[in-house]
Amino acid sequence: MKSLLLTFVSMLTVVTSQSFPTELWPITSDMVTTSQNVINTLLPSSGVTMDSSMVWQRVAYITDTFGPRLSGSQGLENALDYIRDTARNVDGLTVTEMPTLVPKWVRGNEWGILLSPRVKKLHMVGLGMTANTSGVNITAPVFVVSGYDDLMANCSKAAGNILVINTPFTEYGITVSIRVNAGNWGLQCGAKAVLIRTVGPYSMQNPHTGATNASSPIPSAAISLEDASQLARMQARGQTPIVSIYMESWWYPPSPSRNLLIDLVGTERPNEYVLVSGHGDSWDIAEGAMDDLGGAVSSWEAVRTLKNLGVKPKRTIRAVVWVNEENGSAGGLQYLNDYNSTGVLANHSFVFETDSGAFYPMGIGLSCSCGPNGCQNGGCGFTQAQLTLIGNTLLSSIGTGNVSAGGGGTDIDPSCQTGVPCIGLNVIDPRLTPGLNNPCLVDSMNSWYLPPYNPSTMYDSNYFWFHHSEADTMERLDPTQLNTVAASLAIWAYSVAQLPDLLPRDAPAPPTSPSNNNGSPSSTAGPVAGGVIGGIILLAGLFFGYKWFGKRTSTFSMSNTTSTSPSKFSGSSTSSAAYSSLSTRLHEDNNGGV
Ligand SMILES: [Zn+2]
């Protein structure tokens, strides 16, 4: 039924989008002025510190005060109350609560102990929504496999044992399938329980939780990379490790919660929207500063900043704090449910999510013409060209204007299926940028580097060291990066809110550039989408980003750290030899290097 509805909506979208502009819409002087004012406000030449960044202050307050925010928890509801009241009463923004029922799974006590060949506490965390151990210890020899194929080849050996799946991290999208399927794979082979090597490229004994398939009746947990490797070594040399695990958890009826919609209401077309967002919930063991309160509060800050600048957007600029991204996507599905049938979603110019860490942004990834079966390649013609023009003209000065193909987010994906242009923020691994969250800065580096960014090599991003673990704390965020995310979101949102019409959903690239590009300081993008132009803009963005970083490094606040000094940031020239060394360490070491 749902897919039929979506198909109908997609067809309707195609029908209504046949009339499209024949040339790009110009960048107006108003967009230029507002963009510069946003940059001057959020990224002043005096620099950004923890004290001066409202995003940093609010993320720190919320994580410090309310803690982890798993769906169904009081911590989440308290945090949402605070955001609602502050946005409404302090910021003067329009806040709507969208009621959403969320699943409620609660973790209790849990532990894992190695009993033989010696006694040791395992670094273990139950996977999200896993079965429990029914109030008893499960004690058994472990049987270690390297992955699914190894398990299927040796399925009978897992029977009656605790199965350990020791698969090294490659890409999150690939390795995460082990976390999702662990319980059912163990069940298939008769295991009593399953322990997986934590889904992350690097570990300091911090296991990561995350959603698993709740249908399996046998419990599953993650153990640290170090513990999994150790059990594998023991088995390889002929030892038979014996492990005991105990896990409590409870399911409750679905719990009332809400998405928060924080609006700067449009003056000419208040019922048309541009949407930026992040999710407010987190896993129960994580304070979730990085995943994803930084993204949610940066979105909020984008709207707050525009309001404080006194601008009057034509369309409503909306920041959404989604709920239940981590274990159900109820918030994203609620938005689709409430706004698709009423036609509101058809009045969205784009939907945008930041959920890869609010690190230094290098641009956006765009998907278009999406339906229930995914997105159609080549459907982004006009929209990609228009956004490329905006990025090149208004965002290149801070190095964040690149537009590439392919983007989205768990919370916006349901809405994307109706065909609305769908955007994810692309960010740079913190190890490659000068921030307080760069763990490499305590290394022997005497300068920093902004190397050629290649997304295909970034799957072992620093992000996955921390996410869904106790290590997802404020130390993962940097105030300059947070403010740059907020500035980028504000500029993307405002400039799209001012366009003559909604971004087309299925239009080819126009044959000509805008004929009246008044106010544009550097209009060179033209109508060509992606490809060579995108690459040029990326390089330009990185160049300007480099220049921008260089300008600000001398004003970096180091007030919270004693392990680095401003001189560590002050290198203004790159060293290809040093970068080559860094790159090798980062990308060839399967454990994530440094
Ligand atoms: Zn997230």
Segment 483-496, tens digit of pLDDT: 999 999 999 999 99
Write down the pLDDT at residue 567.
26
Query: Is-catalytic flag, 325?
Result: yes
pLDDT of residue 436: 82
- From ligand 1's centre to the CA of 121, what distance in Å? 29
Give 292 Cα–ligand 1 centroid separation in angstroms.
5
pLDDT over 70 (residue 115): yes
281 Cα to the center of ligand 1, angstroms:
8
Instruction: Output the six-digit token pair for 130.
Output: 């896993």
Whole-number Å distance, alpha carbon 221 to ligand 1 midpoint, is 20
- Cα–ligand 1 centroid distance for 427 (angstroms): 14
Q: 382: closest CA among 256, 466, 508, 240?
A: 508
Across 415-429, average pLDDT: 92
Indicate the range of 118-127, 161-170, 340-349, 573-582 predicted with least confidence: 573-582
Identify which of 221-225, 376-380, 441-445, 532-536 has the greatest average pLDDT: 221-225
Of residues 375 and 494, the one with the higher pLDDT is 494
CB atoms within 10 A of CB 109: 9
Residue 128 gets which letter from DSSP?
A: B
**Residue 256 pLDDT:** 98
Query: How confident is the model over 161-209, as pLDDT tens digits?
Result: 999 999 999 888 899 999 999 999 999 999 999 999 999 988 999 999 9
Strand partners, 104: 252
Q: Rounded to a whole number, what is the distance in angstroms from the first to the last CA of the chain? A: 50
Mean pLDDT on 256-273: 98
Q: How far, in Å, is the centroid of ligand 1 from the Cα of 325?
A: 7
Q: For residue 223, how far is its CA from the centre of ligand 1 (angstroms)?
A: 21
Q: Please give the CATH architecture assigned to the domain spanning 2-102+255-438+468-520.
A: 3-Layer(aba) Sandwich (3.40)
User: 213, 130 in Cβ contact below 8 A?
Assistant: no
CB-based contact 463:275 (threshold 8 Å): no
Return the higher-pLDDT residue of 253 and 434: 253
Contact predicate 208/108, CB 8 Å: no
Alpha carbon of 362 to those of 2, 485, 497, 530: distances in Å?
36, 9, 21, 15
Percentage of the chain surpassing pLDDT 90? 71
Among 250-254, 394-398, 434-438, 465-469, the minimum mean pLDDT is found in 434-438
The Cβ-side half-sphere exposure at 307, using a 13 Å CA radius, reads 22
pLDDT for residue 170: 87
- pTM here is 0.83
pLDDT beyond 80 at 76: yes
Q: Which residue ranges make up each domain of the chain?
A: 2-102+255-438+468-520, 118-240
Segment of 11-25, 361-375, 384-398 carrying the highest mean pLDDT? 384-398
Distance of CA 358 from the midpoint of ligand 1 (Å) = 10
* Cα 355 to averaged position of ligand 1 atoms, centre (Å): 5
Cα-to-centroid distance, 572 and ligand 1 (Å): 34
Question: pLDDT at residue 544 above 90?
Answer: no
How many angstroms is it from 291 CA to the middle of ligand 1? 4
Confidence of residue 513 (pLDDT cuts 50, 70, 90): low
Note residues around ion ligand 1 (Cβ under 5 angstroms): 291-292, 355
Q: How far is the CA of 294 from the centre of ligand 1 (A)?
A: 10
Under a CB-based contact definition with an 8 Å cutoff, are residues 546 and 404 in contact?
no
Residue 377: per-residue pLDDT? 58
Which one-letter DSSP state was computed for residue 23? B
- State the amino acid at position 96 in one-letter form: T
Separation of CA 394 and ligand 1 centre (Å): 28
C-beta of residue 523 within 8 angstroms of C-beta of residue 393: yes
Helix (H) or strand (E) holding 54: helix 54-66
Give the rounded percent of residues in the chain with a pLDDT score beyond 70: 78
pLDDT at 428: 86
Q: Are 15 and 504 in contact (CB under 8 A)?
A: no
- For 391-454, the three-class secondary structure string (H helix, E strand, C coil) is HHHHHHHHCCCEEEECCCCCCCHHHHCCCCCEEEEEECCHHHCCCCCCHHHHCCCCCCCCCCCC
- Close Cβ partners of 223 (under 8 Å, ≥ 6 residues apart): 112, 122, 123, 124, 164, 195, 196, 197, 198, 207, 231
What's the whole-number average pLDDT of the chain? 83
Tell me how far apart the alpha carbons of residues 44 and 34 are, in angstroms, rounded to a whole number. 15
Distance 397 CA to ligand 1 centre (A): 28
Quote the Cα angle for 399-403-406, to 5°: 135
Q: Is 456 exposed, middle or buried (0-12, 13-18, 19+ CB in 10 A)?
A: exposed
Q: What separation in Å is there between the alpha carbon of 326 and the centre of ligand 1?
A: 7
How many whole angstroms from 210 Cα to the centroid of ligand 1? Answer: 10
| Single-letter amino acid code for the residue at 425 | L
Q: What is the mean predicted confidence (pLDDT) over 404-416?
A: 94
Whether residue 426 has pLDDT greater than 70 = yes
The sign of the CA dihedral 319, 323, 324, 329 is negative
Out of 77, 110, 272, 325, which one is annotated catalytic? 325
Q: To 10 degrees, the CA torsion angle through 465, 566, 434, 559?
A: 50
State which fold the 118-240 domain adopts.
Answer: Glucose Oxidase; domain 1 (3.50.30)
pLDDT higher than threshold 70 for residue 1: no
- Please give the distance, rounded to the nearest whole angstrom, from the Cα atom of residue 173 to the centre of ligand 1: 14
Q: Do domains 2-102+255-438+468-520 and 118-240 have the same CATH topology?
A: no
Whole-number Å distance, alpha carbon 324 to ligand 1 midpoint, is 10
371 closest CA partner among 509, 278, 529, 505: 505
Ligand 1 centroid–CA 539 distance in Å is 28
Q: What is the pLDDT of residue 438?
A: 78
For residue 354, pLDDT beyond 50 = yes
Among 35-44, 116-125, 482-491, 507-516, whose mean pLDDT is lowest? 507-516
Strand, coil or helix: 256: strand
